[in-house]
Each structure stands twice: as C-alpha cells, then as structure tokens.
Amino acid sequence: MLKKSGILDIAGINSQVIFVSNNPETTTVRRLFLRGLGLDLLKLQVSKRVTTKTVPRSLRLEAAKYSNLPVEKLKQSSSQNRSSGRCIVCPRNKDKKTKCSCYKCNNFMCQNHMKLICESCLEEEKSGNDSSDTV
C-alpha cells in the first residue's frame, strides 16, 4: 500500500507528464513545476483567508502578497463584511445596534434615523438634482 506522500508524488509526476505532452515546447524542471503546482492549488484557499476577519491582520497581509490582492482591496473587503453595528446618530449610552446601513457612506443607522425611499422617488430626486445644477 502506498503512503500518502507517495500518492502525491505520483500525482505530481503525472500532472507534469500531461503538461509537457500538451506543451512540448516548454522545458520545466520538476522541482519548479511541483512548486508552481502547489502554489496554484493553494491560491484559492489563501484568497479566502485574506478576506476572513477572524484571521490576524498580519497573516492576512502576508496572505495578500501570495494571492496577488492589493492591500487596499483587503481594507475594503474587511469594511464591507460588517453585518451589524451601532447607530452613528443615537447617543452612545443608548447603544442601539442595527443591521441597516447607508448605501452611500456605509454607516450604520437605526430605523428611527434611516429614511426609506422608493425607487421612483429616488429617480425623481436624482433627476431633480441634475436639473437644478444646470439652471
């Protein structure tokens, strides 16, 4: 019976044989091919870890280097994944938690301070602002 590492070696060799047969003009060293194969297999998992908030920030930044994600995207994704927070208008001693947030500034607001508007009124508001700017 083969050990697990033996199975991985065979799978790596087989993948290189298939790659070379499909790309006969390339010359690859086995060590470099297996390293690239391993990194390609890890890329999806590493990119998931970059956006996970429970992973320490230092590890997420290091993982961002390997997944070729810019650090700015890392900061944006962590701020977008917030599911609830405290209303920014209510006093802190009330400590009102809410899941509603402004679609523009992404700040949390409770139902008492949030203004709901239908799509047709929103379109009218946008067209009204455009026409008042031109006058």
* Same domain assignment for residues 60 and 95: no
Burial bucket for residue 116 (CB in 10 Å: 0-12, 13-18, 19+): exposed
Angle at 53 between CA 50 and CA 54, to 5 degrees: 105
Q: Which of 93, 49, 96 is closest to 69 using CA atoms?
A: 49
Q: Are 44 and 57 in contact (CB under 8 A)?
A: no
> Residue 94 to residues 83, 84, 108, 112: CA-CA distances in angstroms?
19, 16, 14, 13
19 lies in the same domain as 60: yes
Please check whether residue 18 lies inside any domain of the structure: yes
Residue 93 domain-assigned (yes or no)? yes
Question: Same domain, yes or no, for 62 and 101?
Answer: no
What residue numbers bound the domain in which 95 lies?
Answer: 85-124
User: What total number of domains does the chain contain?
Assistant: 2
Confidence of residue 18 (pLDDT cuts 50, 70, 90): very high
Residue 89 and residue 64 share a domain = no
pLDDT tens string 80-126: 556 788 888 888 888 888 888 776 677 888 888 877 767 777 777 77
Residue 52 within any structural domain of the chain: yes
Beta strands in the chain (DSSP E): 85-86, 97-98
pTM of the model: 0.42
| 34-84 confidence digits (pLDDT tens) | 988 888 888 888 888 887 778 888 888 888 877 776 665 555 544 455 678
Q: Is residue 6 a part of any domain in this protein?
A: no
Any domain includes 74: no
